[in-house]
Structure 1
Amino acid sequence: MPHARIAADLLTAITDKRAKAGVIGLGYVGLPLAMSIAKAGFSVLGFDIDPGKIDAIEEGRSYIEAVPDAVLNEMVKAGRFAATTDFLQLADCDVIAICVPTPLTKHRDPDLSFVENTCRQISKSLRPGQLIVLESTTYPGTTEDIVKPILETSELKAGRDFFLGFSPEREDPGNRDFETSTIPKVIAGDGPEASQMMQAFYGSVVKTVVPVSSTATAEAVKLTENIFRAVNIALVNELKLVYDAMGIDVWEVIDAAKTKPFGFMPFYPGPGLGGHCIPIDPFYLTWKSREYDQPTRFIELAGEINTAMPHYVVEKLAEGLDRRAGKALSRSRVLIIGLAYKKNVPDIRESPSLRLMELILERGAEVSYFDPFIPEIPRTREYGHLKGRRSIDWNSEALATFDAVLIATDHDSVDYQALANHAPLIIDTRNAIARRQIDGGTIIKA
């Protein structure tokens, strides 16, 4: 079939919503995206290597907070969404979105194995007239230098037989003010025809699309967003250390500073960075920048500061126990409040709470945790030895058995007044007690 006909037929199918979409990776990014595409009127087939996710979807059980059971069931019953582990069915899809993890290796280098393996799977059934979109966060050049060559091992050519694009995910777990369809979507295509198809497809799914000139630019946009946050969080974490030494409350400083109606944006300190983006994405750029002999001093310094925060918190804990209770950390029982990386979500990816737990254990203390969203620690890549630990039952008697409580995540549903009433010592890394104007107990901000 001539190239012009291939492009025209795909664009028409997208415009008429006859195109079938495939979403690879049904996690925090992929499942909400699949729902948004289905709600826009397209037929969607989801792909995942985890049979448990497929079973849950077929049973109408959503495992992602941003996707209510009712929405999932509605799309399934309407015939607009189904899920499978059979990647050969990718041949049936006209548009394929790749939403797989892009973690770091132990040496903090990019791990693109999930993207590469997915592209190899796609290449096995790639056919003329498909649009392949990478949504996974990565360094500039990945779509052009990694994704395209793997797909072209099929002997089909990008821009002639199939089309290629990049559109970074912008999910924010726990944020009820936005959903996938209402967050502006940055898009880029590999060539003018791919760009036109990207605009037609995502323009039908989300309220606002933001086209940029190249896939590398779109990849850089996502990194810039998260580097901005990582650097500013590192700045307030460093200010926390400086102001603490001066006897100044950094949270009070920030609350006062943010009353300025221009020129200031509030960021808040914490016990370290967590989540699927901020602790990881900056290092994708620092790694790529070495190819161009360009230093990334700001980014690397921010990483050092944020990575050091759990150590600082544990030192404040040990100091508080020694001064307030006359007890060594090695002989103490410590309760961590919050295992999730941010409040009000059941997400422990890169959570600093896991590192805090590990450091406290290394110091010889007994440590437990309470998290209403995470009843049991699942297996993780770096903290497999913590798997199986369970959240304690919440009651005054249990709270009183601990020598210190460390607030690592400030879930709204926690009874902080009960905590202040029964815990002999509280190390508060989130300003949770003072923010709620709770009296009682010995509170140390860290």
Structure 2
Amino acid sequence: MAVLGMGYVGLPTSLALREAGFRVLGVDISERRLRHIEAGSVDLLDRDRPRLTRALESGQFGLTTDLRALEAVDAVLIAVPTPVDHDLNPDLRAVRSACASAVEHARAGQTLILTSTTYVGTTRDLLVEPLRERGFTIGEDIHVAFAPERINPGDALWEQAAVPRVIGGVTSACTDAAAAVLAATASKLHVVSSVEAAEFTKLQENTFRAVNLAFANEMAAAAGFYGVDPVEVIDAAATKPYGYLPHYPGPGVGGHCIPVDPYYLLTPLRDAGVASPVVENAMASVAGRPRSVADRALDITGSRGIADANARVLLVGVAYKPGVEDFRESPALQIAGRLAARGAQVSYHDPLIAEVEVEGAGVLHNVAAPDPSQYDLVLVAVVHPGHSYEYLADAEHLLDATYKTSGGKVRHAL
């Protein structure tokens, strides 16, 4: 079988399939990405690195950029990015291209499974109808299903195989064919009635998280007004065994899912004139959070008589979430960009990331051993597990947007 797309979803999926006994072909348009996989120089959990080594040494895991190779496999899983553009509109180029390639090289007897988070109707629009135009009968000579991925990068607790997998086929035969592929890679399979139900399931999951994270940030501000610790309150509320699920405040929502996926729900609804005010307001809050954190930081320095152009800010953490080396879609970089746009002098410390490019500030390099006392403000954006942050005790002024650290001679609230 083949996995089309060797990113943070496609690679772990390939490793899971290989361990389940399948011969796996990883297909990606990026030769550079494939060379990094072969060298083992990719961002993986510690437990996945031996799995990658075993897969590469097995002779049963191949890598190629040749899309014609899809013709030789019995099943194709499509796992490509579905981002948004600068205007927060869904960017469908990767999924359109991947689905078109799968259709072009499809043959009778194959099972095609789309796993990328996308708008409701994608599977029919980009796979089912084009396959029918090629003369295939869905559910008879070829099978099509949607089974959303549920990988949480950097999460060592919930490995992929421990998480149930949702499957929706175009027909019952399609569902059965997809289940035969995925059964060994998940703790259980949850079958829904259609591809549309499966597509909507993933959008509901991630929109739920976005809405609740926006709520957590709002409640943190309210807790600050009353002079109580928001994390203490959340932990206390979480002792209730029903009706409550803890979400914690932070500097913003990063990564490829939570700040992105809800727009694959909202955009078609807006186009159809369907109102979704709760989600709309939550996403506006999510999108604006990094800017508000940056502005609060310069409010703090400004209150001490330091002009924005003279403010020296140390940003602690630039990854998009704790425990990962990935800084794409990072709220910390949005914070840095906003600080730079207002003229501040920005430095950063992140033990996992050697350099980053910040709009308005150029390429910044990690300050390996920062002296917090040399900065007008230390702004904590990401705290990585397994690393010491005792040095924050020397910060004259500290703004902790993670609500997770101690230290700072004067601590400021968001």
Q: State TM-score, norm by structure 1.
A: 0.88
Question: 1:109-146 CA distances to partner (integer Å, 9 max, x unpaired)?
Answer: 22111111112222332111111110000121110123
Task: For residue 203 of structure 1, report the CA deviation from its aligned partner.
Answer: 1.1
Task: For residue 310 of structure 1, report the CA deviation from its aligned partner.
Answer: 1.7
Secondary structure, aligned partner of 1:405? strand
The residue identity in structure 1 corresponding to 2:308 is L
Q: Which runs of 5+ in 2 are unaligned?
A: none
Matches of 1:418 and 1:187, distance apart in 2: 48
Aligned residues: 414
Structure-2 change in CA distance of 1:63 and 1:260 (3 Å): closer
1:392 correspondence with 2:372: no
1:445 correspondence with 2:413: yes
Q: Is the 8 A contact 1:190 1:214 kept in 2?
A: yes
Secondary structure, aligned partner of 1:427? strand
Structure-2 change in CA distance of 1:371 and 1:150 (3 Å): farther
Task: For residue 73 of structure 1, report the CA deviation from its aligned partner.
Answer: 1.8
Deviates more, 1:293-302 or 1:233-242: 233-242
* Structure 1 partner of 2:254: 274
Matches of 1:413 and 1:370, distance apart in 2: 15
* Structure 2 partner of 1:56: 36
Task: For residue 61 of structure 1, report the CA deviation from its aligned partner.
Answer: 4.3
Matches of 1:311 and 1:84, distance apart in 2: 41
Matches of 1:133 and 1:385, distance apart in 2: 41
Secondary structure, aligned partner of 1:53? helix
Matches of 1:217 and 1:419, distance apart in 2: 48
Q: Is the 8 A contact 1:101 1:136 kept in 2?
A: yes
The residue identity in structure 2 corresponding to 1:355 is Q
Task: For residue 182 of structure 1, report the CA deviation from its aligned partner.
Answer: 1.5
Q: Is the 8 A contact 1:164 1:190 kept in 2?
A: yes
Matches of 1:359 and 1:337, distance apart in 2: 15
Structure-2 change in CA distance of 1:413 and 1:366 (3 Å): farther
Structure-2 change in CA distance of 1:56 and 1:310 (3 Å): closer
Question: 1:393-420 CA distances to partner (integer Å, 9 max, x unpaired)?
Answer: 2143xx3322111101111344322112
Structure-2 change in CA distance of 1:384 and 1:117 (3 Å): farther
Aligned counterpart for 2:327 among listed residues 334, 348, 359: 348
* Structure 2 partner of 1:364: 343
* Structure 1 partner of 2:270: 290
* Structure 2 partner of 1:410: 383
Question: 1:214-250 CA distances to partner (integer Å, 9 max, x unpaired)?
Answer: 1110011111111111111111212223333343432
* Structure 2 partner of 1:11: none
Task: For residue 292 of structure 1, report the CA deviation from its aligned partner.
Answer: 4.3
Structure-2 change in CA distance of 1:22 and 1:184 (3 Å): same
Matches of 1:163 and 1:150, distance apart in 2: 13
Q: Please show how residues 254-265 of structure 1 align to structure 2 within 5 Å.
A: 254-265=234-245
Matches of 2:291 and 2:363, distance apart in 1: 24
Q: Please show how residues 131-280 of structure 1 align to structure 2 within 5 Å.
A: 131-280=111-260
Q: Is the 8 A contact 1:164 1:189 kept in 2?
A: yes
Secondary structure, aligned partner of 2:145? strand
* Structure 2 partner of 1:419: 392
Q: Is the 8 A contact 1:123 1:152 kept in 2?
A: no
Matches of 2:344 and 2:360, distance apart in 1: 16
Aligned counterpart for 1:429 among listed residues 392, 401, 406: 401
Matches of 1:303 and 1:60, distance apart in 2: 36
Aligned counterpart for 2:94 among listed residues 97, 114, 121: 114
Secondary structure, aligned partner of 2:355? coil
Q: Is the 8 A contact 1:62 1:68 kept in 2?
A: no
The residue identity in structure 2 corresponding to 1:357 is A
Structure-2 change in CA distance of 1:25 and 1:385 (3 Å): farther
1:25 correspondence with 2:5: yes
Structure-2 change in CA distance of 1:347 and 1:62 (3 Å): closer
Question: 1:334-379 CA distances to partner (integer Å, 9 max, x unpaired)?
Answer: 111111111111122321111101110011111011111111226x
Q: Is the 8 A contact 1:56 1:63 kept in 2?
A: no
CA RMSD of aligned residues (A): 1.9
Q: Is the 8 A contact 1:23 1:44 kept in 2?
A: yes
Q: Is the 8 A contact 1:34 1:44 kept in 2?
A: yes
Structure-2 change in CA distance of 1:386 and 1:321 (3 Å): closer
Matches of 2:350 and 2:386, distance apart in 1: 10
1:78 correspondence with 2:46: no
Matches of 1:200 and 1:192, distance apart in 2: 12
Matches of 2:408 and 2:275, distance apart in 1: 49
Matches of 1:386 and 1:119, distance apart in 2: 38
Q: Is the 8 A contact 1:31 1:64 kept in 2?
A: no
Matches of 2:121 and 2:333, distance apart in 1: 33
Q: Is the 8 A contact 1:234 1:303 kept in 2?
A: yes
The residue identity in structure 2 corresponding to 1:349 is R
Deviates more, 1:140-149 or 1:286-295: 286-295
1:130 correspondence with 2:105: no
Secondary structure, aligned partner of 2:166? strand
Matches of 1:410 and 1:204, distance apart in 2: 35
The residue identity in structure 2 corresponding to 1:225 is E
Task: For residue 291 of structure 1, report the CA deviation from its aligned partner.
Answer: 4.8
Matches of 1:442 and 1:230, distance apart in 2: 31
Secondary structure, aligned partner of 2:374? coil
Matches of 2:137 and 2:267, distance apart in 1: 29
Matches of 1:418 and 1:308, distance apart in 2: 30
* Structure 2 partner of 1:335: 314
Q: State TM-score, norm by structure 2.
A: 0.94
